Amino acid sequence: MGEARMPLLGDKFPEMEVQTTHGKIKLPDHYKGKWFILFSHPADFTPVCTTEFVAFQKRYEEFKKLGCELIGLSIDQVFSHIKWVEWIKEKLGVEIQFPIIADDTGQMAQQLGLIHPGKGTNTVRAVFIVDPEGTVRAILYYPQELGRNMDEILRMVKGFQVSDREGVAIPANWPDNELIGDEVIIPPAADVKTAEERPKQYECYDWWFCHRKL
């Protein structure tokens, strides 16, 4: 039996049963048929993490409209998560509605590569975007001192869904790209004949850089 390693892009998210603020959940089966975002945070009752949880909650309905669920994680115990969620609701007026994993043994964090040398035992700010088939589509890592941009994570889910549905690539800063606005990129031609036909079919800068509206 090989040593466990953190998942890479294109891998299946590892199967595991986790304790959360909403009870025990089996991943990735619990979200089968849905996208989900698992994100880790260094610790409960810390300022940057608190701003992140509020930011995720403020966008939770937008994620759900995309068929995407959220699930948090840290190595704190479940009672700490529950108390922190209560504090956020009482002091900030925001009710955290998605579950938070209590990985107090650190086993899940080790398996997912969430604990980095030189930063103690706290989990880093990692994000795993997982598709409805349980495949890891994106992995983001942030240091403890820098909070995440939730609008970018939301944009990534939208972009993946458009790419999967339309068979296209997504340009930088989409849907506000500096060259083609909200249009999408046609995959490169794989043969000479297709390359010759591309400029007749689409708007192109050249045969290898063609784009279209959705």
- pLDDT tens track for 50-106: 999 999 999 999 999 999 999 999 888 999 999 999 999 999 999 999 999 998 887
Q: 108: pLDDT confidence band, cut at 50, 70 and 90?
A: confident
Give the phi and the psi of residue 12 in degrees, each rounded to 5. Answer: -75, 140
Sequence-separated (6 or more) residues with CB below 8 Å from residue 109: 40, 73, 75, 103, 115, 123
Helix H or strand E encompassing 211: strand 209-212
Predicted confidence at residue 118, as pLDDT, reads 62
Predicted confidence at residue 42, as pLDDT, reads 84
Average confidence score pLDDT of the chain: 92
Predicted confidence at residue 1, as pLDDT, reads 36
DSSP letter for 131, please.
Answer: -
For the residues 129-133, what does the mean pLDDT come to? 97
Angstrom distances, CA of residue 1 to CA of 4, 5, 153:
9, 12, 35
Q: 168: pLDDT confidence band, cut at 50, 70 and 90?
A: very high
pLDDT at 174 over 90: yes
Q: 120: pLDDT confidence band, cut at 50, 70 and 90?
A: low
For the residues 38-57, what does the mean pLDDT come to? 93
Query: Do residues 47 and 54 lie in contact, with contact meaning Cβ atoms separated by under 8 Å?
Result: no
Distance CA 189, CA 186 (A): 9
pLDDT at 131 over 90: yes
Query: Domain 16-147: which CATH class?
Result: alpha beta
Residue ranges matching CATH 3.30.1020.10 in the chain: 167-214
Q: Which residues are catalytic?
A: 49
Looking at the DSSP bridge assignments, the partners of residue 36 are: 69, 130
* Strands 68-74 and 35-40, sheet pairing: parallel
Residue ranges matching CATH 3.40.30.10 in the chain: 16-147
pLDDT at 123 over 80: no
For the residues 165-171, what does the mean pLDDT come to? 97
CATH 3.30.1020.10 fits 167-214, yes or no: yes
CA 116-86-144 angle, to 5 degrees, is: 20
Give me the residue label for tokens 């009672």: 79
For the residues 125-147, what does the mean pLDDT come to? 93
Predicted confidence at residue 194, as pLDDT, reads 94
Predicted confidence at residue 117, as pLDDT, reads 63
Predicted confidence at residue 144, as pLDDT, reads 82
- Structure-model confidence comparison of residues 153 and 107, the more confident one: 153
Give me the residue label for tokens 């080790």: 110
Sequence-separated (6 or more) residues with CB below 8 Å from residue 152: none
Distance CA 95, CA 170 (A): 34
Tokens of 130: 């997982």
